[in-house]
Structure 1
Amino acid sequence: MPESRPPVPVAARIREAILAGEFVPNQRLIEADLSDRFGAGRAAVRAALLELANEGLIERVQNRGARVRAVSLAEAIEITEVRMVLEGLCAAKAAERATDADIAGLREIGAGMRDAVASGDVFGYSDLNQRLHARVREISGHGTASDVLERLRAQNVRHRFRLALQPGRPQTSLPEHLAIIEAIAARDPAEAERAARAHLASVLEALPQVLPDESR
């Protein structure tokens, strides 16, 4: 008899729905609707919303319940600056720890990214982009940095989609991603960190071009 898997926590399921764009910024999250959708009790949903509010992914509005928090351009820039440091750290650690199998897997993702750019598959490229960053974090073995980056990724999900749709963006970021892969493959921590930071610096430059300054 197959082993039964424990149920996925409600907070994780709501978080993934936000990451997938199923819930959009400023959308109200109604406890009764979430309870029906995820087959969970109201108490479990309430606890999940509190957890996500503590992460900064949603916000509680007095007398109006919860809603998905909208991240301004200024916040998106700050998040990307923090990501620059942590992604650089993870890339350096990955270069120190990567096995031959890890490197082969990264290069496979890189080849898929090349194909996606060549065929104009913007969403396929975006998915592979996220897979690459996640895999580098996993290889790094740095749990604390990975946890922080996962929370930041959730807050910045809308900006990621807008960047992915910017004309020419995949062509710009592809060589940046390939440079990260090759530095890790060369097991050169300093170069891997430099390549990761250079990629995030490129993201910082692109953000004001595609996002309105919502702080105004």
Structure 2
Amino acid sequence: MSDQPTGSTIAETIRSQLERAIVTGAMRPGERLDEQEIADRFGVSRTPVREAIRTLAASGLVDVRQRQGATVGAIDIPRLIEMFQVMAELEGLCGELAARRITQEEKANLAALHERLIAAGGSVSPLEFYEINREFHEAIYDAARNDFLAEQTRALRTRVGAYRRQVTYLPGRVASTIREHAAVIDAICRHDGEAARRSLRDHVNLLGDNLSDFIASLASSRPAPGEGAPAGRRARAAAEEVLEERS
């Protein structure tokens, strides 16, 4: 049996790497995905690249328009606010169920992740902080023990990932995240479902000054004219990492 990766495996690898680049902001909303350049970077034909882009388009992370090609999906502000509102409700429900179903081992894991977040607050990049924060929320999804809810929450979280990451850069947001997580842990560990739901919902939702600051940050971070093309350069590091794994 050959150990060579299949076309579908290559497409999935490319999809995964491009998704990560989009969610982490390495590829920005509106940026063009050049099929040939991406194929060259990954050392493959354009076929698995097209397949990967189709999958990303189905999830909403990429927009594909006839004669214009594919670009990283951009969400207008009213729509984005609506998505954050839904995300807050889904996260809140995860917190409520976790408060009812969490085990002692999961409580310890949640506390350990929180300590990592505190330790990382002043010593690592916002991207690393965001990754630890993602693990914290994932632990709550797992503790909720509702696979469908977890799938839907993760899908929406991925869809708005680049924008959620932007929130991390707001002044004082890291300190606020740590404080809000402490309230979430307290409610979950006391098995207070209502408080856990409220704490997580308020933590994820964008309200008041947080909302206005977030909108201002989006306006200031839009790519300059021409900066969006091509996206293949943005995938270079990810592609080289994959090629090393395949060699």
Instruction: Name the TM-score, length of structure 1 as normaliser.
Output: 0.84
Using the TM superposition, give the Cα deviation of residue 75 of structure 1 relative to its aligned residue in structure 2, in angstroms.
2.0
Is the aligned partner of 1:87 residue 2:91?
Answer: yes
State the alpha-carbon separation in 1 of the partners of residues 140 and 42 from structure 2.
31
SS in 1 for 2:191: coil
Gaps of 5+ in 2: 220-247
1:103 to 104, 107, 113: 107
State the alpha-carbon separation in 1 of the partners of residues 113 and 100 from structure 2.
19
* 1:19-30 superposed matches below 5 A: 19-30=23-34
The answer (yes or no) to whether the contact 1:88–1:192 under 8 Å persists in 2 is yes
What amino acid is the match of 2:174? Answer: P
Using the TM superposition, give the Cα deviation of residue 5 of structure 1 relative to its aligned residue in structure 2, in angstroms.
10
Tell me which residue corresponds to 2:58. Answer: 54
CA 1:55 to 1:82, structure 2 compared with 1: closer, same or farther past 3 Å?
same
Instruction: Name the TM-score, length of structure 2 as normaliser.
Output: 0.75
Aligned-residue RMSD, C-alpha? 2.6
SS in 2 for 1:67: strand
Give the number of the structure with larger relative contact order, counting CA–CA contacts within 8 Å between residues 6 or more apart.
Answer: 2
Using the TM superposition, give the Cα deviation of residue 169 of structure 1 relative to its aligned residue in structure 2, in angstroms.
1.3
Q: How many residues align?
A: 210
The answer (yes or no) to whether the contact 2:22–2:162 under 8 Å persists in 1 is no
Tell me which residue corresponds to 1:68. Answer: 72
State the alpha-carbon separation in 1 of the partners of residues 151 and 187 from structure 2.
23
What amino acid is the match of 2:180? Answer: E
Residue deviations 1:18-49 (CA, integer Å, cap 9, x gap): 12322211111122223233455433322221
Gaps of 5+ in 1: none
State the alpha-carbon separation in 2 of the partners of residues 47 and 5 from structure 1.
15
Tell me which residue corresponds to 1:204. Answer: 207
Using the TM superposition, give the Cα deviation of residue 87 of structure 1 relative to its aligned residue in structure 2, in angstroms.
0.3
Percent identity of paired positions between Structure 1 and Structure 2: 29
SS in 2 for 1:211: helix
Using the TM superposition, give the Cα deviation of residue 59 of structure 1 relative to its aligned residue in structure 2, in angstroms.
0.4
Tell me which residue corresponds to 1:16. Answer: 20
